[in-house]
A and B are shown apart, each in its own frame.
Chain A
């Protein structure tokens, strides 16, 4: 069964600290993996996208990694800011003829002053 699991479900950190969010997937055939940020009351916004051959992708203070062999991805946030408080969603797309994308349930991050 194709699944995307994220951990932890929620996380509280202090402003200025780093954190890492995890995404494990059992999806085949794999096409790409995206991380989205979703602020409360708004739609998700894309942070990074990685294909099978890419190991790392950065977007400012956000760095995503992908290990296609172990089917794991992580999102590392450096020097967190209050505005990083949001849900972070891992999304995996399958390489099929049609459209097939599986969304994780997300990790809720709270950054405290």
Chain B
């Protein structure tokens, strides 16, 4: 998976609790992305980062925040998890905004 790890790989949490997912890369790629994947939908972009401390919103950013304090780490936080945020979350990286993205193994999140 191109030097990308995600943690945790699986998580079960309760509605209303905060949750943080971590993406770690060893490729020194500038761009990092968080997507969610749900049955019947294509991957949908939540947030992305174009450098340390530089982030921007994607199409489904409500209820999510991100932080990137180091090149190698991109954190996704669900401030107060809801059942609609039950999904599989993928992190991806790329060298430039137009280049191929390399995806991590995913995190399966269940919000009860």
Contacts and interface: CB of A to CB of B under 8 A. Distances in A.
Size bracket, chain B contacts: 20 to 34
Given A31-B98, A99-B48, A41 B41 contact: no
B62 interface: no
B42 A43 contact: no
Given A43-B106, A46-B100, A102-B42, 20 more contacts: A4-B42, A42-B106, A43-B4, A43-B104, A43-B105, A44-B43, A44-B103, A45-B103, A46-B101, A89-B43, A93-B98, A98-B56, A99-B31, A99-B45, A99-B48, A99-B50, A99-B56, A101-B45, A103-B42, A103-B44
A9 B45 CA distance: 22
Interface of chain A: mostly helix, strand, loop or mixed = strand
Nearest to B43: A103
Interface in A3-38: 4, 31-32, 34
Contacts of B103: 43-45
Size bracket, chain A contacts: 20 to 34
Given A43-B92, A43-B105, A99-B48, A32 B98 contact: yes
